[in-house]
Structure 1
Amino acid sequence: MKKVITGERLYNYEEEAIELLCGTVKKTLGPKGSNAIIDHSMFSPFITNDGVTIAKNIESEDECINTILTLAKEASIKTNEEVGDGTTTTLVLLESIFKSGIKKIREGLNPNILKKELDEATKEVIEELKKESKDPEEKDYLNIASIAANDEKIGKEISSLYLRLQQKGAIKIEESETNETDTEIIKGYTFETFLASPYFLNSKEEQTFKKPYLLLVNKEILEIEEISEVINFIIDKKVPIVTIAKDYSEEVVNEILSLNFNKVTNVILLKMPEYGLHQIEVLNDIEILTNAKLIKTNDEINLNNLAKCDEIKIDKKEVTIINSKQKEKVEKRIKELEEKLIKEKDSYEKDFLNERLAKLTNGKGIIRVSGVTITEARERKMRYDDALCALKSMNEGVLPGAGMSLLKIHDQIQVKSNGYALLKDALNQPFIEILKNAGIDDKKIYNEIKANDYSIIYNTLEEKFEFIKEAKIIDPTNVVINTLKNASSIASMLLTTTSLIINEYKEDNKINLNSEL
């Protein structure tokens, strides 16, 4: 049975959903924003002030409100996926636009006309933000990371690593297995270890081969005779070899293990990393880096198609290939990946491309985050994640932070229509909310900023004014633009929705799991 909700009932449900979502999350905005405790059915409860994490965990017992919540959450989730930061600001803007918009619709304004006007206003503001944007300086990376993490020490650690990797490097944030937070840069092309048998490492934690050979086979190796020429060669030359193939028969694995055990050979059989199209891309990277031929038939398994590397390191988690002989080919591959990255829209694919670029350029960074308790470690890891995402968003420039860039446009924009009025009313809300959460009079601060013609900014953490040219409080332009764009988009969708259709379940149709069979 379907239930249809329209008119004033729908508006009321939408208002409740927006109030529940935005009203909860917006309290965390700014350096003095509050935290939320989130219960988890499988793990311990944890504390966070991360907007998107809180938003994802907000639910209602009312199925109508829950349906609207799911749609409204997309604004913050999409911002997080696109730029990794600004989720709370998105919801602050969404709440203001929606509340003002629903008031206009109740007064009789056509929702579709309002949407068109709002879209026009949003485009104009985005163009103004782009004009105000400036290229980041080196010090801006520390400032951006510190603000995103709400912690200067975290900001310093992650921005330092980010700059050492010359901004191209992939950085992985993980929870530490010790009581210390540490950073590491891994040079070379790395991928996950898939041993054909655990006995290839046996009691050794890792194996490092100097000047090893590499055999790259895009098929299963089922008989030892298929690789006999290669095995005889390495026995004769007494050199190590690493083989990467789709899979191996039990006969091949046992034969090679026997030769290794008797110290006749030093061979490691690896299965291919990744899956599907990603597997092919990684194999092509390795092929270019090492000058190995990606073998597809038995006839191609010969000495001519072997590659020699500078070093291959293998442990139980990761394989690292280092080779410096194919610089021209690698540079060409890097340019190809950079061009793909510019065109790619999917955040998951962007991360995959960034990681591969890092492996081919300056290496991969790892930060292992510790905490006194699991809850603290998890919360600190989220802060590192936020800082990293903010750093990645700096490629399109930076703007004054603390809601200042939107506040300035709020004062300057001309109201050409009702849609412009909605957006104008929303643009000063992040500024107001940051100060409100700190218990500071926003009107007093605003009057001082306006009297100084926006040449100063208010540092909420230290509770003092600073000259905007010298201030450390900045936001990535990309983050500010995406918060506005996503808030406006979801608000428009909600304002132009005239009906809600949901499944209605009757109590007597539900299965009683406690009843006897």
Structure 2
Amino acid sequence: SGAKAVSIKEGIIKASREVVTRLLAKSKPIETQGDIENVATISSGQKEIGHIIASAMEKVTKKGVISVDESKGFETELEVVQGLKYDKGYISPHFVTNKENMSVDFEQAAVLVTDHKISNLQEIRSLLEEVVKNSTPLLIIAASFENDAIGALVFNKISGVFNVVATEAPGFGDNQRELLQDIAALTQATFISKDLNMKLQNANSQYLGKISKVVIKKDDTVLIGTEKNKNLEERIQEIEAKIQKALNENASEYELKNLKSRLAKLSGGIAIIKVGAATETELKEKKLRIEDALNATQAAITEGIVVGGGKALVEVYKELKDNLIDSNVDIQKGLNIVLESLLIPTYQIAENAGFDGDSVVKEQLKQKDNYGFDAKEGQYVDLIKE
């Protein structure tokens, strides 16, 4: 009562930033295959899941694209297919087909690839008519879209005239054209290029590519093929030659980085974890568990890991409790709110396991290094080794 909310908020923000800084300083990098498997196993609670996530990352690298799908069988399997991911999502949420994930999921879709701006649907009318005739889902990748074109595509999608989704092309300038040609090679589409004076109005179904599966979210698109085709193999060889030339000519780091990134995307493929289970309920639960473990593992690879069980937060509390001080009473209240919250995870873990939370927190504050409370065994152990 009487406290200034703005000052309390200032204290909360100040303390939170300090906590994050301390946690990052304590984090240890994930380096080995064993580390990855351990993180995924701990996150999921199942060794089988930890192993399959680690295997997926080994096959497509730590930063590769990994998709989680439902299998028609009982077993959970790993498959690596051709594909790539780019950092552009759907241009309107009205295209969404999967409300749960807020994504557009198409299978066996036709693909239009162009660096033209699409102003209205008249420009691609003949293509759309053929798509409607064949009842094929269509992915349109273009440099940009006028509002009239977006509105018309959304209207036809919602009206059930045709199944369509549109994304803007990734990159910009020369790099955008190269990326579009990469996508065209993967999908076996004909790249409708402004530089070659190719007109959208002249395009027919022969210009369209094909992709086995596409998953488009708000900010990114994943294209999943089946196996390497001749166009893709030639494109990969072309990029490899450009990398060699760039090295010989001492090209800029930026150019080399772009070329290597494109090569990795085209040649690395996409790992698909196909989740199998005996019942629909088990399947949904297992798929969510794998997705959560995958997200946790990817985050750990990016930022490292700290000691679990609330131990890292307790250590930060010990470091800050006598140092996080402000002369402003209300700011101090905000600081204290964050400080006290650092002990809650340890308290709650102990309570959930049937132990006295206050006693465990009190004992945890005395423990040094990596020693902390193992709620499963009810003992204080080296949490890193365990």
TM-score (norm 1): 0.46
Mapped pair 1:424 → 2:345: no
Q: Residue in 2 aligned with 1:112?
A: 6
Q: Choose from 311, 318, 329 the match for 1:411.
A: 318
1:135 aligned partner, one-letter code: P
Q: Residue in 1 aligned with 2:296?
A: 390
2:304 aligned partner, one-letter code: G
SS at match of 1:326: helix
Q: Residue in 1 aligned with 2:368?
A: 453
SS at match of 1:193: strand
SS at match of 1:177: coil
Give the aligned length.
Answer: 284
SS at match of 2:316: helix
Structure 1 segment 125-204 matched on structure 2, within 5 A: 125-138=19-32, 139-189=34-84, 193-195=108-110
Mapped pair 1:362 → 2:268: yes
2:349 aligned partner, one-letter code: I
Shift of 1:132: 1.4
Q: Residue in 2 aligned with 1:280?
A: 169
Give the ranges of 4+ consecutive aligned residues of structure 1 lying more than 6 Å apart after TM superposition.
215-219, 249-254, 329-334
Q: Choose from 326, 330, 350 the match for 1:435.
A: 350
SS at match of 2:20: helix
1:272, 1:279 within 8 Å by CA — same for their partners in 2? no
Mapped pair 1:371 → 2:277: yes
**Alpha-carbon distance in 2 for matches of 1:364, 1:120:** 41
Shift of 1:293: 5.9
**Superposed CA offset, 1:400-455 (max 9, x none):** 11111111111221251222211111101011111211112334444554444233
1:334, 1:357 within 8 Å by CA — same for their partners in 2? no
Q: Residue in 1 aligned with 2:308?
A: 401
**Superposed CA offset, 1:454-509 (max 9, x none):** 331333334444324424xxxxxxxxxxxxxxxxxxxxxxxxxxxxxxxxxxxxxx
Shift of 1:122: 1.6
2:72 aligned partner, one-letter code: E
**Alpha-carbon distance in 2 for matches of 1:156, 1:393:** 17
**Superposed CA offset, 1:338-385 (max 9, x none):** 99xxxxxxxxxxxxxxxx886424210111212222111111111011
5+ residue gaps, structure 2: 86-105, 117-123, 146-165, 171-175, 200-208, 215-223, 244-253, 326-331
**Alpha-carbon distance in 1 for matches of 2:5, 2:129:** 68
Shift of 1:217: 6.3
Cα gap change, 1:357 to 1:383, in 2 (>3 Å): farther
Cα gap change, 1:444 to 1:327, in 2 (>3 Å): same
TM-score (norm 2): 0.60
Cα gap change, 1:327 to 1:424, in 2 (>3 Å): same
SS at match of 2:381: strand
1:195, 1:270 within 8 Å by CA — same for their partners in 2? yes
Taking only aligned residues, the RMSD between alpha carbons, in angstroms, comes to: 4.2
SS at match of 1:278: strand
Cα gap change, 1:195 to 1:251, in 2 (>3 Å): closer
Cα gap change, 1:143 to 1:457, in 2 (>3 Å): farther
SS at match of 1:295: coil
Mapped pair 1:335 → 2:291: no
**Alpha-carbon distance in 1 for matches of 2:74, 2:263:** 31
Shift of 1:173: 0.9
Cα gap change, 1:412 to 1:299, in 2 (>3 Å): closer
Shift of 1:183: 1.2
1:248 aligned partner, one-letter code: L
5+ residue gaps, structure 1: 1-105, 197-214, 220-244, 258-268, 302-311, 340-355, 472-517
Shift of 1:288: 4.2
